[in-house]
């Protein structure tokens, strides 16, 4: 992960802080104990428990480094900011799919918090990046893995 800005809501930042705290305070100790027990079994060259514990230790340490780096580069976004004239990160936008008229509502968040099933899409996703900077009434064409889709921005919340 590069040193690019990480866009998070306050809720998203709290979740990352909780995960980091859990990894540092609990998971590290748990993995260290597993390694200690596996070492007590003797021959490490054919010790599957030791190998698994070391792999998990590497994963935990890597995730801690990743989370710390993300937190150094975090930029808090406020959902539904004051400016409703243009779509920005943190905006909730109602889109009308053209020509069939189906409506979709998305909140634009950073890639760390995206959850399309919960209506949260990344500012880096095809739709998210296409709507950033748009205003009500704008028509956009989005290249998706399933082909091109045309939308109209109906409302910015």
> Could you report the average pLDDT of every consecutive run of 10 residues in the chain (157 residues)?
77 92 95 90 80 93 94 82 79 91 91 90 92 94 88 92
Question: What is the predicted pLDDT for the residue at 79?
Answer: 65
- pLDDT at 151 (0 to 100): 94
Name every residue whose Cβ is closer than 8 Å to that of residue 91 and which is 6 or more positions away in sequence.
80, 81, 84, 107, 108, 156, 157
Q: What is the pLDDT of residue 10?
A: 86
What are the residue ranges of helices labelled H in 9-114? 10-22, 28-40, 48-72
Structural domains for the chain: 6-76 (1.10.287.180), 78-156 (3.10.50.30)
pLDDT digits (tens, 9 = 90+) for 21-45: 999 999 999 999 999 988 887 777 7
pLDDT at residue number 66: 92
């Amino acid at each position: 992960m590069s040193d690019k800005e990480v866009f998070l809501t306050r809720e998203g930042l709290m979740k990352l802080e909780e995960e980091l705290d859990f990894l540092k305070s609990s998971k590290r100790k748990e993995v260290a104990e597993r390694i200690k027990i596996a070492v007590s079994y003797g021959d490490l060259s054919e010790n599957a428990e030791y190998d698994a514990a070391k792999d998990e230790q590497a994963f935990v340490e890597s995730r801690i480094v990743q989370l710390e780096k993300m937190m150094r580069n975090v930029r808090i976004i406020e959902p539904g900011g004051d400016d409703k004239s243009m779509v920005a990160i943190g905006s909730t936008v109602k889109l009308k799919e053209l020509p069939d008229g189906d409506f979709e509502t998305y909140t634009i968040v950073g890639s760390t918090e995206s959850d399309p099933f919960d209506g949260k899409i990344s500012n880096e996703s095809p739709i998210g990046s296409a709507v950033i900077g748009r205003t009500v009434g704008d028509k956009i064409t989005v290249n998706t893995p399933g082909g091109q889709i045309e939308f109209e921005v109906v409302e910015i919340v």
